[in-house]
Amino acid sequence: MSGKRRTTSEERALFEQVVKEARPRLPKPPPDMPPKIRAVPRNSNAKGEGGLDGGTAAKLKRGLLEPEARLDLHGYTEDAAHLALTRFLTSARRRGFRLVLVVTGKGSTQGDDAPFTMGYGRRGVLKAAVPRWLKEAALASLIAATMAAHRKHGGAGALYIYLRKPPRAEGLPR
């Protein structure tokens, strides 16, 4: 047994006839593709990570970065807290801080143990108000991103605020 079979003259003639008659197939039209969806830029404060690079965001999520300054709003009235937050963030930016922590508290999660709710029945007034204040033009221009704090820094009752770099002075190297 030689292992390979030899083609006969009849087979060769048949092959040559088939090759002569063969015509190239026309290419199929491409399938209908859905229109391309363009990525929409995310508001840096919408989810909280838009102004951060991936490494910084990951370190924040794991609580590996220490805030350079903290503001605890426990005990503040809503108006006093708004003023304190504005002053705190402008001061932190002026001092060149990048990461600050604002503690709002979670608000009461227990039953109605407060003697007077004034008909509002709301809990966690500052927790709800601070993100709203951070979107105001005066503060939003200072902020690169916000994110819920890691458990060791206050968890759901606190926010990391990552500040934008301050503008550099004219004529000074970076």
Which sequence spans correspond to the domains of the chain? Answer: 54-107+123-163
DSSP summary character for residue 116: -
| Cα distance between residue 131 and residue 154, in whole Å | 16
The pLDDT, as a whole number, for residue 125 is: 87
The pLDDT, as a whole number, for residue 116 is: 42
The low-confidence residues of the chain, meaning pLDDT below 70, are 1-2, 38-50, 108-123, 169-174
54-107+123-163: CATH number = 3.30.1370.110
Structure token digits, residue 19: 């090759």
The pLDDT, as a whole number, for residue 110 is: 47
pTM listed for this prediction: 0.61
How does pLDDT run across 47-57, given as a tens digit for each residue?
445 577 888 88
Q: Which residues contact 73 (CB under 8 A, 6 or more apart)?
A: 81, 84, 85, 102, 103, 104, 105, 126, 130
